[in-house]
Amino acid sequence: MDFNTTDEQTMLRDTVSRYLADTYSFDARMKTVHSGAGWNPAVWKAFAEELGILGAPFAEAHGGLGGGAIENMIVMEEFGRALVIEPYLPTVVIAGGALKATGGALADAVIPEIIAGNAIIAFAYAEPQGRYNLADLRTTAKKDGGGYVLNGHKSVVYSAPYATHLLVTARTGGSQRETAGVSLFLIPADTKGVVRRDYPTVDGSAASEIYFENAAIGADMLIGAEGEAFALVEQIVDEATAAVCAEACGVTRVLHATTLDYAKQRKQFGKAIGEFQVIQHRLVDMFMEVEQAVSITLMATLKLDTAERAQAVSAAKSKVGKACKFTGQNAVQIHGGIGISNELAVGHYFKRSTMIESQFGSVDHHLRRYERISIG
């Protein structure tokens, strides 16, 4: 049992945090957000070429740094601190994770492109009726000649407006919520019959509704075996969930630190509001929520490759979701009126923490999943 990071991991954290401190200021981020593009390609290029972090969790044989879940945790926590909107999560953690897990020619072709910063992959898995059930799919992939034809509607696909590829879950068999019959495809974003409606999200990113209208795709775009991808989808979503928990640790740490600073400076009734015990204890409660979130995220990350993966991830996400709400709401409350203005960074951290609460499943969803595994 060992909780220390390796020298390489410490270096990775330092590299990312230094780069973001130097270049990814709140103002710079807001400029990107207001551009409407949903990302800054120059930042992505720097991630690939200057920092080399897009290869963090990939094998050296693919040109990566030979890391894994812990490297993703480190990068995502730092991204959370700076509210990074560039698509590390869908591209590297999720699509990269799926390709790493299955290997083969597709992985050999695409992983180097991810590492080089050329492939931007969005994850089209949610559907309007499905809420957080990964198997609740109406999107179909029908066999047609040598390939498949996709039809259906995918909801709120983050990063889709500027993605080069889409990672898509679709039904090749089975009924609507059955786990059998789920397949996973990696398709070019400009495939004919893929119709997008793009929009900004409340937390500063860009996303799309995606409609597949008889989109014809090749059989070589299938990841894993036809109709047997559910376990893989569950695995990559668990890995992604652990990664957003890490992002949330960064977001909530900043929410707490910013609010603490503010409480030391803001004067009312002739003294800093941080001198009032009611504010002090609220800040302590926020501190404890953040520390507990960090602890349980570490647990989930360290258990991703074990039989306890699903239980640990759902435990973590339920706890982290509560921490996001608690620190976000109290950060705004302690800031008072200025907390609800769009001018200050704190409000934008609150928006991101609020979206993380339900990303890949709400507190209720994950507690129910945890119960099914732990209690029955």
Q: Which is nearer to another protein, 53 or 279 (CB)?
A: 279
Q: Which is nearer to another protein, 149 or 257 (CB)?
A: 257
Q: Which is nearer to another protein, 61 or 307 (CB)?
A: 307
CB of 254 to another protein, least distance (A): 15
> What pairs with residue 122 in β-bridges?
166
Q: Which is nearer to another protein, 284 or 340 (CB)?
A: 284
Give Cβ neighbours of residue 153 (< 8 Å, ≥ 6 apart): 127, 128, 138, 139, 209, 210, 211, 212
CB of 69 to another protein, least distance (A): 10
Q: Which is nearer to another protein, 72 or 159 (CB)?
A: 72
Backbone angles phi, psi at 201, to 5 degrees: -105, 165
CB of 2 to another protein, least distance (A): 5
Q: Which is nearer to another protein, 143 or 281 (CB)?
A: 281
Q: Which is nearer to another protein, 35 or 374 (CB)?
A: 374
CA–CA gap between residue 363 and residue 370 (Å, rounded): 10
CB of 293 to another protein, least distance (A): 7
**Contact criterion met (CB below 8 Å) for 125 and 233:** yes
**Contact criterion met (CB below 8 Å) for 285 and 326:** yes
Residues in the chain: 376
End-to-end CA distance of the chain: 29
Q: Where are the beta strands (DSSP E) in 159-248?
A: 165-171, 182-188, 194-200, 206-218, 222-223
Q: Is the dihedral of CA 196, 201, 206, 207 positive or negative?
A: negative
- DSSP assignment, residue 189? T
Among 238, 219, 246, smallest CA distance to 101 is for: 238
CB of 319 to another protein, least distance (A): 5
CB of 237 to another protein, least distance (A): 19
CA–CA gap between residue 273 and residue 189 (Å, rounded): 52
CB of 291 to another protein, least distance (A): 6
Q: Which residues contribute to the site for another protein (CB under 8 A)?
A: 1-5, 70, 260, 263-264, 274-275, 277, 280-281, 283-285, 287-288, 291-296, 298-299, 302-303, 306, 312, 315, 318-319, 367, 370-371, 374-375
Cα 149–chain centre separation: 28
